[in-house]
């Protein structure tokens, strides 16, 4: 993968392209993503998601970015946006 990428752009593309209004559920959308992407793609996704979580953005900025790009109603899934993204990363790692 090219090292000249913007982790925020990549994250926004991942969230918006995977967790959009036409999904059956967030779990189903993630399962489909995992089935369709290569191991290299999974590793890259984990990389930029972790870079986002470890960035200097505030907690509120991170939550806003996640909420604005993933069309998920977080109270229904019972996790705040950052915790949800951490769980997504763990599931991606398990699939590698």
Place 1 in a pLDDT band, splitting at 50, 70 and 90: very low
pLDDT digits (tens, 9 = 90+) for 42-91: 999 999 999 999 999 999 999 999 999 999 999 889 999 999 999 999 99
23 closest CA partner among 84, 70, 91, 83: 70
pLDDT digits (tens, 9 = 90+) for 20-43: 988 889 999 999 999 999 999 999
Domain ranges across the chain = 7-95
Distance between alpha carbon 88 and the CA centroid of its chain, in Å?
6
43 closest CA partner among 94, 9, 5, 86: 94
């Amino acid at each position: 993968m090219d090292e000249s990428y913007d982790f925020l752009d990549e994250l926004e593309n991942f969230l918006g392209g995977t967790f959009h209004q036409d999904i059956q559920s967030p779990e189903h959308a993630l399962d489909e993503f995992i089935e369709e992407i290569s191991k290299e793609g999974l590793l890259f996704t984990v990389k930029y998601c972790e870079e986002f979580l470890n960035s200097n953005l505030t907690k509120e900025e991170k939550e806003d970015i996640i909420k604005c790009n993933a069309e998920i109603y977080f109270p229904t899934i019972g996790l705040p946006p950052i915790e949800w993204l951490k769980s997504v990363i763990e599931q991606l790692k398990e699939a590698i």
